[in-house]
Structure 1
């Protein structure tokens, strides 16, 4: 079985493949969607918190009849078996990256996909029941660090603001003579 992504650079990327893992495909799809484009360090923290049932994985597609979980999320779960398998797969891809000479602290999951695998029947004389199997593939690459421009030690003086002349407002011709209120009140008192 090959990888579903063809853009793979041998020098700057590492990959790993989990075949026929005994986990649910639907749960794996939701977990892969949540962990994609995160750093491997952050993904391992999330999965360890899921195993402790402190952080839930949000389910956006396969969430019928599923309760909401605490925090700013809707329906979610704490998938234990899938978390263990994905954690092992992330550690494996980190080991592959370190053997290639990539920086393990700077890895980002660029490709994480779950696919259906073969579903063999359970053994024995019982009702017809199939096993759950999933293939998971993961690719990581080194994160591109954006070079921040060096800050100037000496601040330049602020440029003087240019004052733009304001256009003069045309005054309206007064139809009535305008007199202050105090003068009007004085005239009223005299009469």
Structure 2
């Protein structure tokens, strides 16, 4: 059992980002220091640092420096996912500060993306047909601990 006084949590529901994109970003952040994770996400938003796409990498181009840093050449710049995760990390940092933890020593011990609700809509087409137009959402949870 974890000592609840040494950890801080934050959860965000129904983020309007595909689970496939969010999963790739979350897998890179797992185990990082909180300060480093925020820096990485800020660089992704500025299109300076790509995220490796390991599972969903069909027709994903190679990016410079990815193979050296992560050992995987294919990647993208998921700006929308990075913006929402940046807000979530700032939220968990505020929760940790409220508990009296040192924000410079925080490490992400758990971060996971789960499939949220899917808003199902249909677009009418010619000859009485319809095309599905689904809006996928994601739920993300993050837990940080003060590193000793």
| TM-score for the superposition, normalised by structure 2 | 0.88
- Where structure 2 has 5 or more consecutive residues not aligned to the other structure, the ranges are 68-72, 125-129
Q: Which residue in the other structure is 1:32 paired with?
A: 26
Q: 1:54, 1:89 → 2: CA distance?
A: 21
Residues 17-166 of structure 1 aligned to structure 2 (within 5 Å): 17-73=11-67, 74-122=73-121, 127-144=131-148
| Deviation digits for residues 95-134 of structure 1 (CA, Å, limit 9, x no counterpart) | 0000000001110000000010110124775632110100
Could you list the per-position Cα deviations for residues 132-188 of structure 1 after superposition, in whole angstroms to 9, with x for gaps in the alignment? 1000000000012xxxxxxxxxxxxxxxxxxxxxxxxxxxxxxxxxxxxxxxxxxxx
| TM-score when normalising by structure 1 | 0.69
Choose between structure 1 and 2: higher strand proportion.
2
* In structure 2, C-alpha distance between the alignment counterparts of 1:124 and 1:16, rounded to whole Å: 36
The number of equivalent residue pairs is 138
Q: Distance in 2 between matches of 1:124 and 1:101?
A: 51
The structural deviation recorded for 1:69 is: 0.2
Shift of 1:8: 4.1
Larger Rg: 1
- Distance change in 2, residues 1:127/1:98 (3 Å): same
Could you tell me how far apart the structure 1 residues matched to 2:17 and 2:66 are?
27
Across the aligned residues of Structure 1 and Structure 2, the Cα RMSD in angstroms comes to 1.4
Higher relative contact order (CA 8 A, sep 6+): 2
Counterpart CA distance in 1 for 2:21 and 2:82 is: 10
> Which has more helix, going by share of residues?
2
Moved runs in structure 1, 4+ residues, more than 2 A? 122-127
Q: How many Å separate the matches in 1 of 2:86 and 2:59?
A: 27
